[in-house]
Amino acid sequence: MSLWRREKPLHERLAEQGGMTMPTEVGRDVAPWHQAGVHGVPRPRQWDAVVTAEADLPGDAVHFVTLDDRTVVVDEDVPDDQLAPLADAVETQLDPPYRAEGARRHDRLWAVGASKISVVSIDDEIGGDAVELAAREGEVTLLVDGAHVFGAVPALEALGAGMPSYVVRADRIDGDLWEVVVLPL
């Protein structure tokens, strides 16, 4: 044994002398690396598909929704037929309906990210473009464009049928077509 080697490290001896010893737990995993929080919680995936395509489009960004029948609804002032190369590239990996966002990378090269969406036709008259319906233990709250409103939207309530508590978010795509997300509480 070396002259400078100690039986226990100094911090352990000092803790014992100060009465600060902790009983050791038998069978405890010292490094539970598999638990969330140690490595962090991963961010949710933003896109279901990411592709590149060449297209002659004005501007540096474009946002569009492709419906089940392959109709393209564009947010910007871009002719629908000019988006065909971007939509075709997305559809090699993702079937409609989807929401897509394109960003110009170089001259004619575009990167496009797309996410699958649920589209519902709502015939009820709604005086806004964003609706949030929350139902909790029989109490229903309805927000239209962030403002509380009285009334009901039966088509949205039907989407949450069978769940005791839920939230339905709907954003108008065009006319009576809405992108909806239903989340149980």
Structure-token pair, residue 35 = 């638990």
Q: Report the pLDDT value the prediction gives residue 116, as an integer from 0 to 100.
A: 96
Distance CA 100, CA 76 (A): 12
Q: Model's pTM, two decimal places?
A: 0.71
Cβ neighbour number for residue 57 with a 10 Å cutoff: 19
User: What confidence category does residue 38 fall into, taking pLDDT thresholds of 50, 70 and 90?
Assistant: low
- Total count of residues recorded for the chain: 185
Beta pairing partners, 165: 136
Q: Report the pLDDT value the prediction gives residue 40, as an integer from 0 to 100.
A: 65
Q: Report the pLDDT value the prediction gives residue 27, as an integer from 0 to 100.
A: 57
**Environment class of 89 (CB within 10 Å of its CB; exposed 0-12, middle 13-18, buried 19+):** buried
User: What confidence category does residue 95 fall into, taking pLDDT thresholds of 50, 70 and 90?
Assistant: very high
Q: Report the pLDDT value the prediction gives residue 91, as an integer from 0 to 100.
A: 95
Rounded to the nearest integer, the mean pLDDT of the chain is: 86
Q: Report the pLDDT value the prediction gives residue 123, as an integer from 0 to 100.
A: 87
Q: SS3 for 83? A: helix
User: What confidence category does residue 2 fall into, taking pLDDT thresholds of 50, 70 and 90?
Assistant: low
User: What confidence category does residue 4 fall into, taking pLDDT thresholds of 50, 70 and 90?
Assistant: low
